[in-house]
A and B are shown apart, each in its own frame.
Chain A
Amino acid sequence: MSGFGVGASPARVGGRARVTGRQAYVADIRLEDALHVKLVTVDCARARIVAVDASAALAVPGVRLVLSAADLPDPMPRFGPQFQDRPVLAVGETRYHGEPVAAVAAETRDAAEEGARLVRVEYDELPAVSTIAAALAPDAPLVQDPSIRPGDPLAATNVLREHRYGWGDVDGATADVVVEGTYAFPMVTQFAIEPHGFLAAPDGDGIAVWSSIQHPNWLQRVIAGLLALPLSKVRVYAPDPGGGFGGKQHAKYEPLVAFIALWAGRPARLVLSLEETFQAVRRGAAEIRVRSGFRRDGTLVFRDVEANYLIGAYADIADRTVAKGTYTSCGPYRTPAARIVARSVLSNTTPSTAFRGFGNPQQIWAVESNMDEAAHALGIDPVDLRLRNLARPGEAFIPGDTPADGDWAKTVERAAELIGWGTPPAAGRGRGIAVGLKSGPTTGLSYSTVRLLADGSVVVHAGTSDMGQGARTIFAQIAAQELGAPLDWVTVVMGDTAVVPYDQQTSASRSSVLMGNAVLGACRDIQARLRAMAARLEMVTESDVVVDRGEVRIGDGVLPIRDVLVRGLGRLGGELIGVGEMRKEADPDHPLGGTAAFFEFNCTAVEVEVDRATGDVVVARHVTVSDVGTALNPTQVRGQDEGAAIMGLGHTLMEHYILDDGGRIRNLGAIDYRIPTSMDLPLRLESDVIEHGDGPGPYGSKGMSEGALLCVAPAVAAAVRNATGVVIRDLPLTPERVWRALHAARDP
């Protein structure tokens, strides 16, 4: 389809600013008279803070203040999306490597950095835990003080929460073949190329905060709560993030910068270094034991999962990633009996948080690797094994949740066809395939206002953060199509809580579906007003008027919307204002608090070449197929799908934190922590979509921005096994790990 409407691929709205350097990211915003802030940390994972001596720092010309716990309210204000456990600054004790003890604010960045080096922190290093085994040991030191978890029966352990799901009778199930394994997924980091940035300034009798945040309205609530201000006095500006990937969902240092701005009575800015972002956000590591029972014909009869996720020192949204990521441990398969136990295990490490896939990539690495091992054990083709067990459209595959909302076999068959499954790979190569399923949002609330101006141009207000997924373009396409305006006559306003109505969050690949429906609703609201207007002008009844796709039709007559609008508004002009609201209601009886709005479903098939001398894995072909319902903008769909696939190759082949025994991250920063470059691409990458128009979003769309990342690792590991015969259950598949596995297999 050509043009700019839904299903076309017009150039990204905001694209011109991105290719000319004019897009203002948070660090590009200059506030007059702003203080520069630098964090002060200590070089160990856990320490008792004895004293903070700021005298040398305060002697640096330009340093205006050094803030530590003693300067903040007592008790220390704490915040967090699930548990209010994170202090604005460490009080009494630090709990992970990089947790700020103090902050220096100065007239220049140089002075702030020098001041931060000169703050003398006297501390005693304390025993710390940075592995699952150490954190779960009976005599393990506690990561969190039980006093901040009153009434919690687990408060005297390092288990923050334990989740149990299941149905059927696992222990009573009869299986011909049981396949069991434990699979490990390391700590990895979001590594947005834009490091997190935070600004705050006194604003009349309130405060303004700028942040590269995915959830501006949530941040507004956090700041209002900490400062005891009404929401209306907290104005959050959320410039487009330069990549978020989950790491920018929730408040990090905005509260600290807000306290500094109020304390100093002037603006303050903190832009993290890349190294500091490693210490601020990461994905939870995991060790997951999977037992799956099958009948000889490949029918899955039970699955038994015990998952331990290593989260950090504060909960952030990590426990939710564990709860939601493991809830779908039976994948898209019909599973008569299931038992899932999942724990969020606290540790003295960077607080883990949301990261594209939201707890699922770890679980899917385990269960899909287990499926591949099952295929081998059963002597059944891995594609056939999956097709045999896949839920059919409409099938209730997770009791009490949304039934299968796609014809998922089509996705698997398409991926198999594209990779040439069933034909032999080139000599020396191996193939692997895996599927990924992820629950979409379980609750949601998005409002949009759309204004049809007197000349037929359109302003859309939407509180989504456009962090690269292209939400602005999608909303503009919807409004253009529904209101008959050219795309470049549509302006989408985002990122200012004083102007844009409430949106719950930008996460879970929700925005095209939830905010998209809100925008569509607002456009339909305007269409209703246009119908009334046309009926009045043409002296017909409203039921005789149809407004559709930018046109007003009365009988056989067709009028452009703009004609009706101009005549209807009359001499005073003005505008039509439409309001849209999209809710995904909670379900208090559901283990996750709500059913899935939709499922993301992807099948990834790869062909690899393994260098036996070095252990290097080259992905020769990478096929990703996602069920997207409807591709609202195929170019953007492709960009998100391919991007997710490449990001998946990162944690599959190269990414992991390396901690020393003391819990310090030893590979902080871009030199020692490698992410995929243009030299690490599959030799051939193919992305395709299945479009059945069966999603809950506008025009039958579904969310799709995470799918292609979900199952990259098990697909690649299966291909490595296919090429070499070795089974590897730990990520990443670095040359060293693969080489060792090859040698262990040769010299047992």
Chain B
Amino acid sequence: MPTADGLDYALEGKKVRKTITEMVIAAGRGHVGSAFSIVETLLVLYKTILKVDPKDPRWEDRDRLILSKGHGCLALYPILAELGFFDRAELLKYCKPDGILGGHPEHHKIPGVEASTGALGHGLSIGIGMALAARMDGRGYGVYVILGDGECDEGSIWEGALSAAKHKLSNLTVIVDYNKQQSYGDVSEVLPLEPFADKWRAFGFDTAEAHMDRPQELEALLKRPRGDKPRVVITHTIKGKGITFIEKNLSWHHKGKLTPLEIENIFNELEI
């Protein structure tokens, strides 16, 4: 719930991480680190920015959010459920045969999901198509695309970046989850992206950076008046954020069955 100072991100973040943990316990698997990394980003978007209607998920004028790093979907599902896009009972059926929530999100199955993602490097171009359609139809909605940093290794991302700039898609916002780690190791070692902000600037984007230990930074950036270009916000995040022994720990990028001790330690740290 919002406080006088805005959303209580610390509390909301713990609630989401608790639900994610319960889902991973139930399923025995999940991309924990990648999901914990974007919890605050999704809270900023869904609680303060996006115009969406859980009662009418296909409302034509809704803002569109595409989680291009589809493996981060464990962070998305609890938030969509809380907003009422689908029954909370679905959460504990994550990855189960009778559930709608898979290890990567599919839009035909899940109300509130705009595009099926999971193979990396697809979401930006789909978002560009939606942003172009908005312009053709004279509609005012915004399109938001969340990319992973490792995902920016894909050439198709940069094809999309060229196109977004060409079309001056001021209704398009790219958010890069820059936690600086990918599956195998540090981004700086596997395939360096720096100077990262300069690259986006050179590609023609209004480029800003936000530190997600202060989610209000992202909130303020996204509330700024739009220019005449597509914009990107590089969010500085921590893979596995929120639990000390998961933070920056690559063995939690994708995690199998949790041990009783791990479960106890996570819930102790979440204090709720």
Q: Are A and B part of the same complex? A: no
Chain B residues near A (Cβ < 8 Å): none
